[in-house]
Structure 1
Amino acid sequence: MFQTVVECGTMAKASMQLHCVPSNITTRIKQLEEELGSPLFYREGKTLKLTPSGEIFLEYCHKILALCDEAKRSIHPDAPPSGPLRIGAIESSASTHLPRLLAQYHQHYPDVSIQIITGTWKQLLLDVSQHKLDAAMVAGAIDFPCLNKVEIYQENMVLIAPASMGIIRNQEDLINKEIFMWTEGCPYRAALETWLKLKHISLPITSITNYATIIGCVSAGLGVSLIPKSIYAQYKNLPQLCSYEFDRLATIPVHFFWHQKILNHKARDAFLKLLTLEFLEKNQ
C-alpha cells in the first residue's frame, strides 16, 4: 500500500489501483507510521510528499517486495515464467534490437508481464541495484557494485556528418565542428572523446538525449555525432547524411546486468537465454 501511494501521489488514486476505499488506505498508513514511530508523508491537502523517513523506508520497500517476489517464484520451481519483468535498456538497444525479441518472448511466455524502461546507463544500473528493475541492457565496459553482467553483443558504431561538410578522414577534420552526443557518462560519448584525445584534441559537445533530434541536427548541416550503426540504418536514406567508420570507434560491448542477490528469477533468466540465443545466431 505504501509503495502504491508513493507511485500514485494521493490516497484516492492509490485506492483505485488497489481496489479499496481511501479510508482503508489512510488507516493502514497511519498504523504503519505509528509502528515505525515516524511520519512517512508530508500532507499538503490531497497531495502527499515523502518525508526523509519515508524516502528511507521506500528503499527498503523495493528490497522487501523484490524478496517477496523471489520467495513466491521459489515455491513453484516447475512453474513456467510468469509475473512482472522490468527490463531497463539504453535507447539504442530498446529501439533497434529489442522489438523482435520481445515478440518472441511474449510468444514463449505469455504469462509474463514485461515492461521496458529506457534511460541513461547510470540510472538504469542504479535502479537494478535498488531492485526497481530486474535487469538492464547497458553499453560500455562498465562494472557496478552488487551486479552481475554478461556481454550479449557488440554495438557497431559510425560517425555521421552532413555531406555539406566534406569528407571526414580523421580527428582533425572535426575541429571547429559542432558535436552532438548524449549527456556525460554515455559510453558512446566517452568513446568519441577518447578517440579525439589520441590526437590531443578536446572539443565542446552539445548534449541531446534523443537520437532523432541528434540525427535531425546532423542532417540539417549543424554538426556531427557518433551513433550505433543500428540507429543509423533507420535514417541512412536521408539525402544529406554521410557515415564514416574508424578502427578506434568500431565497436562497443553491450552487457546484460542483474542483481547478484536475486538468484531465482525465471522470467529474467528466460529473457537472458532468449537474448543470448538471438545474438549468438547473428554472430554465427
Structure 2
Amino acid sequence: MNLHLSQSDGFLRVAAASPQIRVADVEGNAEVALAAVRDAAERGVRALVLPELNLTGYTAADLFHNRTLLHACEAALVHILDETRELPIVFTIGLPVTVAENIYNCAAVCCAGELLGLTAKKYLPNYGEFYERRWFAPAPTDPVWLEFAGQGPVPLGSGLVYRCCDEGTEDLALGIEVCEDLWVPAPPSTEMALAGATVILNPSASDEIIGKADYRRSLISNQSARLYCAYAYADASEGESTTDMVFAGENLVYENGSKLAATKLLTCDMAIADVDLDRLVAERRRSTTWTRAGDAPEATT
C-alpha cells in the first residue's frame, strides 16, 4: 500500500479527534469527519485517528442491521475518499462493513483518495453495558479481500500493518486496533509492533464510569512503553445516545510511555503531537529483549 506522507527529521505529527456526531446521520457525520481531516491536514498532521463507528455513531444499536444505513456508510466513504485525494494525511473512518452474512465493526484506513484496508475489531465486549455481539462478528481469523467503496480488492481483518513506501519514511508503519482490542490480555497491537508498526491508532468508544479515565490512560501509557511505539487514541463524544452510556471524548497521544497530548473531557477537541519515530526505532534496537515476530498480514496492493 502507498502512504504518500513526509516526515521532518524523523518526526511525524499525529492527532486524535472527536467530531460531534448525530446517531445514524451518516451524511452529516461524513461532513464533520471531512472537516476534521481537513483541519488536521492544515495543521501539519500526517496521521489522524477518529472515533469508533464515527459515521453512524457507536450507539446506533439495532440500526446496524438496517440495509439503508449500511449502504449509506459505503457511499459516504466513497465521498470522503474523493474529497481527500489531495490531502497528504492518513486517517481512519469508523463504519460497519458487511461481508456475506456478517457485519464487522471496522476502521477504514484512508490516504490520498485510496482505501488502504479495513481493520476489523477482534474482541467484541458483551458484558456490563456493552452488547456488541448482538450486531457484529469478530474479525475473521485470516484477512478477507473484497471490493468496497469502489476500490479494491482491499483486505478486511485484524492485525493489519500499513507500511509507508516513500523514501525517507521507512520507519512509518501503522497498526490499528479498535477500542476493546486494547483492553484484552494480548492486544493485537503487540503483534503489530513486533512486525514493525511504530504508530498505533485506536478508534474507540470508551464510556465514562468512575475511575475509568485513569485506567484508560494507564493502559495506553503502558502499552506504548512496552511496545516502544507512539499510540494515538480517539474517543467517542457528544452526539452519542446516552441511553446506557455517556462519552466524554478524551483524546490522547502517548510516546514510549509519556503523554504528549490530551484533551479535556467533554470538549470534542483534537489532541496533536509530534512523535519521534527515529527514537522509537533506536529504542527497539537498543533493547536486547525486543524480538521481531513473524510477519503480520500487510495491506498491500
TM-score, reference length from structure 2:
0.25
Q: Decide which structure has the larger Cα Rg and report it.
A: 1
Structure with higher helix content = 1
TM-score, reference length from structure 1:
0.26
Structure with higher strand content = 2
